[in-house]
Structure 1
C-alpha cells in the first residue's frame, strides 16, 4: 500500500490528512470528503486567517512550485505532461482562483506517482483536492467508458459535498480527454460554474479533435511543448466555431517569466456573453397564438415567424450575435414523455440535440426539467374553459325577480303584523268578542284579496279595523305598482346562458366533449395524476368525451365544434382570449365566453439543452425584456379587440313580442294553483257528504 499526500487541506498552510492509494483500474488517490471534525477545524482556521495572508500564501506556493518544477531536470519526451505543465496549471488557477473551491484531479494512469504527487502539491487547493485515476482498457472502448462513468460518479459526490469545484484533467489520450468532457457535460459536473483545466502534451495541431467537447465548457487547455526547460501555452476553444478553426491562445508560461497573458485576453472568458463566430442556431418552434405565428414561404424555404416570441428571439439573436433557422416538430406538439423514455415534440428535438433551443414558450414542469433546461420565466398563465354562449332568452321564472327574497319575506311579515294588530285591538275593545279561528281566517283571506287586487267589503267593521285595512291597502298598492313596473322591464331582458364556469359542471354534462391541447403539459399532467377531478377528466377519454388537438387546429375546433355547443375547449387563458378576439373581429359578436374559475397555473419559458451554457446567457437577456414590460406590451398589441369579449355582458335588452316560450313559468304557476284549488274543492265536497 503506497501513500500519497493527496488529500491536502490548506488552512494557514496546515496539512491535515494523508490518503492511501489502492491499486485498481479506477481509484480515488485522495478524497475531498473529510469528516465533520476536519471540516470544522478547517473552517475555524480559515476564519482566523486574514484574506490577504491567504492570497499571498497561495501565490507564494504557486511561485515556489513553479520555480522548482522549472529547475528540475526532465528528460525530453518523457511523457509526463502533469509534471511538465503542473506549474503552468497552478499559475492559471492562482490567477483565476475561486474561493471555497475543491480541486478534482483526473489522470489516465500514464503519469507516474511522482508526477501526480508534484501535480497535487502545486495546485492551490485550500479546500482540498481529490485525485482520480482511471486507466482506459486497450481495445475495449465500452469498458473504458464504463470506467470513466465510475470516476464521474466519484467526482459528482465531491461536487455535491463542495460549494464549487475546479476540475483538472491530465492526459495525452484524445479519447480520454474527449469522452471525459462529454460525460461531464451530460451529467452536469462540467456545468458553466465549474472551471476546467485540461493538461496535455499533444501538439496544438491535434487540438481540433477536442474542440467540440471543450468549447461548451468553462475550460482552458494547457499544452506542454515537451522541451527542457518546459514551456506551456494556454488555449481557449470558442463555441460554435468551425471544426477546423484554431483555438484562441490566451496565455503562455515559462519557468522564468511565469504566466503571461496575451493582450486583450483573459483566462476563463465568458464565451457565451457574445458568440464570437456568429453561428446559425436551430430553433424548434410551433404555432402558438398569440405568442408565435408561423407562415410557410414555400417548398424548401424557411418559415417566417411573427408574434411576441419572434420579437424576443430577434433581440436575443442581436445581443448574442447569432442567426437562426426554424425547425418545426413532426408531430406539431410541445413534448411529452413516452413509456419507452423518449420525448416527443420540441422538447424531444432539443433533448436529442436536433435543435439548440426551443422557442415555445413552454410550461415549466418537473418532468420536462429532466430533459431540458428552462430559461428565465417569460409569463404566467392559467387554464380556463372556453365554451359557446347560448342564445339570448327570457327567464321563464323572471316574474319572481322584481323583488328579492328579503322583500318577499318582509311583505309576508308585514301582513302577519297587520293581522296580529287587529287581533290585539279586538281583544282590548271587546274581550268577549275575541276572534275565534273562523274570524281570524276570514280576516286573513280579506288581506289576501287586497294583495290579489280583488274587491273587499268593510261592512260591520269597527273604525280601528278600517284604519289597519286602509294602511295595508296603501302598502299593497305601492308594492304592486313597483312589482308591475319592474316586471315589464325584466320581460325585455334576455339572459345569455354561460353554464360551464368550472370543470365540475363540464364533467357533469354528458353531452359535451372536452377539447385539450395535444402534446402539452396538460397531457403530461393528466397522464400522471392519480386522484381528484383531473383523474375524472382523464377517465372521460374512455367514454369518448376527451379529445386532443394541435394548436394549428384551434380555429377549426372553435368554429366547427365549440360554436355548436357540443364541445368545450380547455386551455390557457391567453389562447382563449385570442380565439374570442379573432371571432369578434370577424363577426362583430361575442359568441364565446371564458370561465370564471382558473386552474393549473403554469410558468412559461424557453428551453435549451441540458446544462447548456447558452441557457444562462438567454435568461439574462430575457430578464431585461420582461422586467421592462416589453413582452406584456407586445402581447396586448398582438391581440386586437382583446377586451371586447373578456367581460361580455350576460344580459341584453331587446324589444320583441312575448310568447309561451318566454312566459311558460307564469302559466306553470297558474296551472299549479288551479290544480291545488281543484283538489281543495273536491276535498270540501267529499267532506260535506261525509
Structure 2
C-alpha cells in the first residue's frame, strides 16, 4: 500500500493492518471455495482491524497494490485504496491469482521411468521426460498456471518401508515424507501403508497385477499329437477297464476296449445258441469269437473302422457288437475332427494359469517383481495366504539371487524371454506391451491385486484438492483416452495367430504317426521272435519225447527192427506234414 496524495509515516501502520488482515484471511480461505466469498471476508476483516487505527499524519488515503505476473515480469498493480476513515475502495480483485492458478509458481516434482507412463530420453547431454504422466502434468501446469522442475530419488525406489517402528519410507514416498519435493508425478499406487505419510490425488488410471511367463516350446509336445485330441481319462476309458482318477473327484470308466473284448468273448463262448449241433459244427469249422484273441482283434478292428473276419451269429453277440460299432463311430469321428484342429491350429497354453498353480511349481520355477514397489510390500504382508506365500517365495529367491527384485521392468521381461523357468509379477499394461512386442511371451489368466495410480503430495498438502479437481475435469474431457492411444503401442499380432492361413504339415507335426509305426514294427518283431522261439522249443521237446519213446521200446524189445523203422518213417512223414 502507498499514500494516494503524498508520502507519510502512517504507511507503516496501515501496512501492518493490511498484512495482518491478509494473513488472517489466508488462514480462513483454505475452506472457502468462492472468490466472492473470499473478497467479502477480506473486506470485513480489514474493517474490523482498521477500527483501532489512529492516523498520526495528514495522509488522505493509501493505495492497495497486488503483485501480478505481467508481460514485463512480476510487478505491483493497483487494485484500490483505503482512506483515513478506514473505508476501502476496491477497483478490481485484490488477489486475482486466486482464480488464475499458481501465478507461475515453480514446483519441484519427482518421478521415475516406467513405460508407458514415463519415458526418459537423453538428448544433447540432458534428459527429457515423456509419457502419459508427463502429458497429464503438462496439462495441469497449463490449467493451473505453474511451472515445475523434474527430479528423481537417489535410491531409485518407489517407496517401501525402511523402519516399521518410525514408519519411514524410501524412494518417491520418502521424498514426500521428508518434504524434499512438492509432488510425485509417476504411476505410484495408492496404498494403505503409505497414506499416513502422504496425500493421494484423484486416481487417473486403474490397473491389475498378473504374471508374465514364456510360452512352452510347442515342438516339445508334438510327439504326442495323436494323443492330444483326447484327455487322459478319455484314452484310459477307451483302453482300460477301470481308472481311479487322482484329485478330489474320482470316476469309474467301465465301458472300454478290454471290457468290450471280455463281454464279447463271454457271450459267444457260453451262449446256449451254440449248443445246438448245427451251430456248434459251423463254429468249429468256420471259427468265431468264442476265442479270446479273436474277440480282441475284432473289437480292436471295429475301433479302427475295420472289423474282423468272424461275426457273431447269436442275437446277444450281434446286439453288443452293434452298440460297440456305434460307440466306435462316435469316438473316431470326434477324434478325427480334433486331430485336424490340433494339426492346423497351434494352441499354446501357459505352464500355469493361477498363482496357486505357480506355487506348486516352486521347485521348478522362480518368480520376481520390481523392487522397491508396492508389490514388494503387499505380497509378504498380505492376509491372503496365496499372496503371502508368493511374496515369501520371491524374498527367499532374492537371498540367493538379488536380481529377483531388480528395479527395472525391462530386465525382468528380458529374463523371462531368456529363461523358460522364470516368471515376472507386474502390472497388466507393461505385460501386454511386452506380449505385443514378443510373441514368445504369454500372461496367465488370473488377474489380482488391483492398482490405483495417483499423483502424490506431501501430507496435508493444500494442493491436493486443487490438483484433484482439475484432474477430474481433464478425465471428463476425454484426454486420458487420447493420451492412452498416443503412448500405448499399436497391436502387433503374432504371425499365424490373428489370421488363419493354410500351412503345409511338417514332419514334426506328424512325428507321432511314425512313432506308432516304429512301435508296431518293434512289437511285431518281438512277437515274431517269441513265436519263432516257441516253435523251436516245441519242436525240440517233440523230438525229445519221440526219441525217449523209441529208446524205451528198443530197450524192452517189444517191436522188431522193421517195425521200429516203420515207426521212424511214420514219424518223419508226420513231421513233414506238420
TM-score range relative to shorter protein: 0.5 to 0.7
Q: Offset at 1:406?
A: 7.2
- What is the match of residue 338 of structure 1? 162
Distance across 2 between alignment mates of 1:245 and 1:612? 28
Matched, 1:525 2:378: yes
- What is the match of residue 148 of structure 1? none
Contact 1:274 1:320 in 2 (8 A): yes
- What is the match of residue 368 of structure 2? 515
Matched, 1:193 2:31: yes
Matched, 1:628 2:477: yes
* Alpha carbons of structure 1 residues 478 and 318: separation in structure 2 relative to 1, 3 Å: closer
Distance across 1 between alignment mates of 2:226 and 2:443? 29
1:575-586 residue pairs with structure 2 within 5 A?
575-581=430-436, 583-584=437-438
- Give the number of the structure with larger relative contact order, counting CA–CA contacts within 8 Å between residues 6 or more apart: 2
SS at match of 1:338: strand
1:171-250 residue pairs with structure 2 within 5 A?
192-193=30-31, 222=46, 224=50, 227-228=53-54
- What is the match of residue 106 of structure 1? none
Matched, 1:548 2:405: yes
* Alpha carbons of structure 1 residues 238 and 192: separation in structure 2 relative to 1, 3 Å: farther
* Alpha carbons of structure 1 residues 361 and 229: separation in structure 2 relative to 1, 3 Å: same
Distance across 2 between alignment mates of 1:668 and 1:596? 39
* Alpha carbons of structure 1 residues 283 and 431: separation in structure 2 relative to 1, 3 Å: same
- What is the match of residue 391 of structure 1? 217
Matched, 1:591 2:446: no
SS at match of 1:624: helix
- What is the match of residue 461 of structure 1? 313
Distance across 1 between alignment mates of 2:383 and 2:318? 72
1:6-405 residue pairs with structure 2 within 5 A?
192-193=30-31, 222=46, 224=50, 227-228=53-54, 260=88, 262-265=90-93, 273-275=99-101, 277-299=103-125, 301=126, 303-339=127-163, 340-393=166-219, 394-402=221-229
Matched, 1:567 2:422: yes
Unaligned runs of 5+ in 1: 1-76, 93-166, 170-180, 196-217, 585-589, 682-690
Contact 2:112 2:156 in 1 (8 A): yes
- What is the match of residue 536 of structure 1? 389
* Alpha carbons of structure 1 residues 373 and 489: separation in structure 2 relative to 1, 3 Å: closer
Contact 1:385 1:500 in 2 (8 A): no
Q: Offset at 1:522?
A: 1.2
- What is the match of residue 613 of structure 1? 462
Matched, 1:450 2:274: no
Distance across 1 between alignment mates of 2:376 and 2:389? 14
Contact 1:395 1:495 in 2 (8 A): no
Contact 1:359 1:607 in 2 (8 A): yes
Contact 1:237 1:248 in 2 (8 A): yes
* Alpha carbons of structure 1 residues 628 and 293: separation in structure 2 relative to 1, 3 Å: same
TM-score by length of 1: 0.53
TM-superposition CA deviations, 1:48-98 (whole Å, max 9, x none): xxxxxxxxxxxxxxxxxxxxxxxxxxxxx9xxx9xx99xx98xx9xxxxxx
* Alpha carbons of structure 1 residues 333 and 667: separation in structure 2 relative to 1, 3 Å: farther
Distance across 1 between alignment mates of 2:380 and 2:310? 77
- Candidates 445, 448, 451, aligned match of 1:602: 451
Distance across 1 between alignment mates of 2:185 and 2:204? 11
* Alpha carbons of structure 1 residues 238 and 561: separation in structure 2 relative to 1, 3 Å: farther
SS at match of 2:453: strand
Distance across 2 between alignment mates of 1:229 and 1:638? 64
Distance across 2 between alignment mates of 1:233 and 1:368? 50
- What is the match of residue 506 of structure 2? 656
Q: Count how many residue pairs are aligned between Structure 1 and Structure 2.
A: 462
Distance across 1 between alignment mates of 2:161 and 2:384? 20
Distance across 2 between alignment mates of 1:462 and 1:579? 67
Distance across 2 between alignment mates of 1:647 and 1:403? 24
From the CA coordinates, give the structure whose radius of gyration is larger. 2
- What is the match of residue 504 of structure 1? 356
Q: Offset at 1:357?
A: 0.9
Contact 1:238 1:271 in 2 (8 A): no
Contact 1:283 1:358 in 2 (8 A): yes
Contact 1:284 1:355 in 2 (8 A): yes
Alpha-carbon RMSD? 5.5
Distance across 2 between alignment mates of 1:509 and 1:319? 51
Contact 1:280 1:324 in 2 (8 A): yes
- What is the match of residue 212 of structure 1? none
